[in-house]
Amino acid sequence: MTPSSPLSSAEARVLDRNSEYLGVSTLQLMENAGRSVADAISTRFGAGSSVLVYCGVGRNGGDGMVVARHLAARKFNVTLRLVGDSRTITDPIVLQNWLALKSMSASVKIEECRDSSQLSDSDSDVLVDAVLGTGVKGKLRQPILRAVQVINSSRGFKVAVDVPTGIDSDMGEVLGEAVRANLTVTFHATKTGLMKAANFCGEVNVADIGIPPEAAIFAGPGDVEAVRVRRSPDSHKGEFGRLLVIGGSETFTGASPLVALAAYRTGTDLVFVAAPEKTAYAISAISPNLISIKLPGESLALAHIRTLREQIQRATAIVVGPGLGQSIKTVTAVSRVLEIIRESRKPLLIDADALRCLRVVKKRLFDQSTVLTPHGGEFQAISGKIPSKDLKVRSSEVKAFAAKSGAITLLKGSTDVISDGERVRLNDTGNPGMTVGGTGMYSLGSWEG
Amino acid sequence: MAQGVDSFRAAVAGAFITGASGDLAKEEFGYHLTPTDLLEHIPKVMNDPMCHKEIHQRNLQ
């Protein structure tokens, strides 16, 4: 997600939320957005020009309210038409801007249009479309449809805020009808759908609204919200995943059940742990939530391949590694297991001992359905070199390794580095207390979300 | 990943969740953390990841 590449509505939302987390509120971004549209209008029209701002009741409408306030302050002749019922403004930051405007009775004329019959053409010099923004799906309904029609049939200069209303900002499709703008001022970066809808956008200006670049670099709440899976009341067991964890040995019992329990906590429906039999019994005793698959013997070996193949076929994702140990038998078995999983093309996460079993990776062994989660020492084992202490250098090392191996690589550390070979993201959450043996495992379990 | 999310995005989110859960556990237990302490905080971080903002900002002071 480089600043210049087009954004999907989901990516735009991630940036807003991460920005909020970093200390730049959505209200501040809204202020900058609205002001940038006011600036674009001010360069084309002067004080005394008439401006009619059409606002929806959501955030795009909130941007429009800011435009109206700034233009009123610059002595434009401003009218604001709310398309909808003001009692349905629920977003606190939109409400805050709405109330600010309501108190500007001397400089802004406000019309609340709850019904499409209240909307008619106008002879304003400028029309601002702040009815609907990014992420809108489905055909337009009244009174919004009527608002689009009266904007289009008016003669003035038409400015769309972020996206012309009626354009799906992701796909570029027209949702029944859409505003035909002369100018679209879009925020932070262009949107994926705008290129396809070029006929509706007119000139496209990209306005910087003060999102910190770090919002696209560091993992934040927006990234978590974006991957959360919604559940419907009629969903059934297994619909949210069957995870298979292959791990454990006589020596290390604890690691694989921890991963399994973490996966439950992230919302995975069913978690199976395949482990050598004594370990498997111990795992079942740890928690009644865990279903164990008992492999005869003391450690993972080629004799288990048939059982594991069946389990792999039934799983929606597989974790290999925690607590396996590194006996010669296990190393051989791990490489065969990884082959089988690769053939199945199922999401695979390789951690801990299984990483050491890989040895130095010299060619493209994986694709993007595989994630490797080494700490520094394991990264050295698979890349052949000690990761640099310098974060910039380390980032490029992880990126280069991800590109070479084909796998998404997460190097754990005081700052985690995550790369798919093209993109690099960092994560700064966590603390030194987490370096206790076994804590690193959580990255695994959590990922199953 | 098991729930069908794109692996890169899942990895980025997973890193945040893991660390943030560890930070919430540290609020409770100081540095006397055990792996299971983190586990208990995962649902809170997943439901309300913005709850970590306070810790993030405190760490900067």
pLDDT (average), residues A11-19: 97
What is the pLDDT, as a whole number, of residue A49? Answer: 98
Of B14, B40, B50, the CB nearest to A446: B14
Decide if A402 is inside a domain: yes
Q: Once rounded to an integer, what is the mean pLDDT over residues A1-27? A: 90
Mean pLDDT of A411-439: 86
Q: Do B22 and A227 touch (CB under 8 A)?
A: no
Q: Which residues of A touch B16 (CB under 8 A)?
A: 219-221, 223-224, 427, 429
Whether residues B33 and A433 touch (CB distance < 8 A) is answered with yes
Last residue of a domain, one of A165, A199, A224: A224
Q: How high is the pLDDT of residue A256? A: 85
The answer to whether residues A364 and A422 belong to one domain is yes
Let me know whether A202 and A243 are in one domain.
no
Confidence of residue A434 (pLDDT cuts 50, 70, 90): confident
CB A405 within 8 A of CB A221: no
Chain-chain contact of A430 with B53 (C-beta, under 8 angstroms): no
Domains in chain A, number: 2
For residue A310, the tally of other CB atoms under 10 A from its CB is: 11
- Quick: pLDDT tens for A36-73: 999 999 999 999 999 999 999 999 999 999 999 999 99
Domain range holding A81? 9-224
Pick B38 or A84 by higher pLDDT: A84
* Structure token digits, residue A407: 């796998």
Pair (A76, A209) in one structural domain: yes
Q: Is B46 in contact with A267 (Cβ distance < 8 A)?
A: yes
Q: In chain B, what is the straight-line distance between the N-terminal and C-terminal CA atoms, in Å?
A: 35
A21, A347, A447: residue with CB nearest B14: A447
CB–CB of A446 and B17 under 8 A?
yes
Which residue of A254, A265, A349 is in closest CB contact with B1?
A: A349
Q: Is the pLDDT of residue A391 over 90?
A: yes
Q: How confident is the model at residue A5 (pLDDT cuts 50, 70, 90)?
A: confident
pLDDT tens digits, one per residue of A120-132: 888 999 999 999 9
In terms of domains, do A77 and A166 share one? yes
- Split at pLDDT 50, 70, 90, the class of A449 is very low
- A230 part of a folded domain: no
Beta-carbon count within 10 A of A128 CB: 33
Confidence of residue A246 (pLDDT cuts 50, 70, 90): very high
Helix, strand or coil, per DSSP, at residue A206:
strand
Tokens of A170: 């992701």
Q: Tell which of A181, A197, A224 closes a domain.
A: A224
Q: What is the CATH number of the domain that holds A372?
A: 3.40.1190.20
- Per-residue confidence at A234, pLDDT binned at 50, 70, 90? low
User: What is the pLDDT confidence band of residue A437, given thresholds at 50, 70 and 90?
Assistant: very low
Comparing CA positions, the residue from B46, B52, B51, B38 lying closest to residue A449 is B46
Nearest residue of A to residue B31 by CA position?
Answer: A433
Is the pLDDT score of A436 beyond 90? Answer: no
Q: What percent of chain A has pLDDT over 90?
A: 79
Domain check: are A282 and A257 in the same one? yes
With CB atoms and an 8 Å threshold, state whether A261 touches B39. Answer: yes
Residues A277, A357, single domain; the answer is yes
Q: CA distances (Å), A162 to each of A4, A177, A192, A244, A249, in order?
A: 15, 17, 12, 44, 56
- CB-based burial label for A76 (10 Å; 0-12, 13-18, 19+): buried
Q: What pLDDT does residue A435 have?
A: 61
Spatial strand order of the sheet with A157-161 comes to A108-113, A77-83, A50-55, A126-130, A157-161, A183-187, A203-207
Which pair of structure tokens corresponds to residue A80?
């604001």
- Identify the pLDDT of residue A259: 87
Q: Do A226 and B46 touch (CB under 8 A)?
A: no
CB neighbour class for A309 (10 Å; exposed up to 12, middle 13-18, buried from 19):
middle
What residue spans of A103-215 are helical by DSSP H?
144-153, 198-201
Note whether A195 and A256 are same-domain residues.
no
**Residues 222-251, chain A: which have Cβ within 8 Å of B?**
223-229, 240-243
- Cis omega (within 30 of 0) on the bond before A387? no
Do residues B13 and A445 make contact, with C-beta atoms less than 8 angstroms apart? Answer: no
Mutation site, A252, A367, A442, interface B, largest B CB count within 10 A: A442
Rounded average pLDDT over B41-56: 95
Q: What is the pLDDT of residue A120?
A: 86
Q: Are residues A265 and A382 in the same domain?
A: yes
Average pLDDT on A353-377 reads 92
What is the CATH classification number for the domain harbouring A141? 3.40.50.10260
User: Taking Cα atoms as reference points, which of A126, A127, A165, A159 lies closest to residue A143?
Assistant: A165
Q: Last residue of a domain, which of A177, A198, A224?
A: A224
Residues A192 and A264 in one domain: no
Inspect the interface and report whether the beta carbons of A347 and B2 lie closer than 8 Å. yes
Same structural domain, A410 and A278? yes
User: Please, what is the end-to-end C-alpha distance for chain A in angstroms?
Assistant: 21
The token duo for A19 is: 């920005």
Q: Which is nearest to A338 in space by CA: A361, A314, A358, A315?
A: A358
- Give the model's pLDDT for residue B1: 62
